Amino acid sequence: METKDKDIINKEETTAPQKGRSLVQLLKFALVGASNTLVDMLVNTGVSFLLRLLFSGSWITYVAKGIGYACGILNSYLLNSGWTFKEERSRDKREVISFIAVNLIVLGISFGLIFLFKNVFGLNTWWEGLALPAWLKKIVGGDLFCSLLSTVICLPVNFILNKLFVFVGKKGKETK
């Protein structure tokens, strides 16, 4: 067998397990994302409740959302670096800064998509205009539908950016 043929076989042998591992990582990433959303919602609700007991004003909503989102990012980093990308993590300054940057970029993409879905495509009013049961429309209103649709698109984008730029491991750092 020629050297070229052996190289192709060796490459195929190493690529197949990597694809399976990436799929497992994507599923773990999605589970971590669900826990991030839960942390964000719980902290946001709790902070909002406490601030409304002490203060009044529309600023409370934004402060509570910011604190909730920050707690979600912290949860995401801890779980993704310790579970999803355990073998690739380095837990150094570069990784933390890259993680925050990627999450802020994805947040910006998400906001942009929500804006497009609502203001350009009108998906929030389209959703509310569907002949759906009233209970479902109360649970998932048009704005939430746009937010969920944005999340579905941003999940793989966030995963790919984290895999390529954040959790590159020692091997990835040597080649850069």
Question: Contact 166/94 with Cβ under 8 angstroms?
Answer: no
Query: Which residues fall within 8 angstroms of residue 147, CB to CB, at 6 or more apart?
Result: 110, 114
Residue 167: the pLDDT is 94
51 with 100, same domain: the answer is no
Would the pLDDT of 78 be above 90? yes
83 with 99, same domain: the answer is no
Would the pLDDT of 142 be above 90? no
In a domain, 165, yes or no: yes
Domain final residue, candidates 72, 87, 102: 87
The whole-angstrom separation of Cα 143 and Cα 8 is 49
Bigger pLDDT: 80 vs 148: 80
Bigger pLDDT: 18 vs 7: 18
52 with 65, same domain: the answer is yes
The two three-digit tokens of residue 107, written as one number: 């947040």
User: What is the total count of domains within the chain?
Assistant: 2
- State the burial class of residue 135 (Cβ atoms within 10 Å of its Cβ: 0-12, 13-18, 19+): exposed
Residue 5: the pLDDT is 54
In a domain, 18, yes or no: yes
97 with 157, same domain: the answer is yes
Across the chain, what does the average pLDDT equal?
84
Domain that includes residue 38, residue range: 13-87
Residue 4: the pLDDT is 56
The whole-angstrom separation of Cα 160 and Cα 158 is 6
| C-beta atoms surrounding 103 within 10 Å | 20
Domain final residue, candidates 63, 87, 111: 87
Query: Considering the chain, what percentage of its residues have pLDDT values greater than 70?
Result: 86
User: Ranked by mean pLDDT, which of 64-68, 107-111, 114-118, 161-165 comes out on top?
Assistant: 161-165
In a domain, 175, yes or no: no
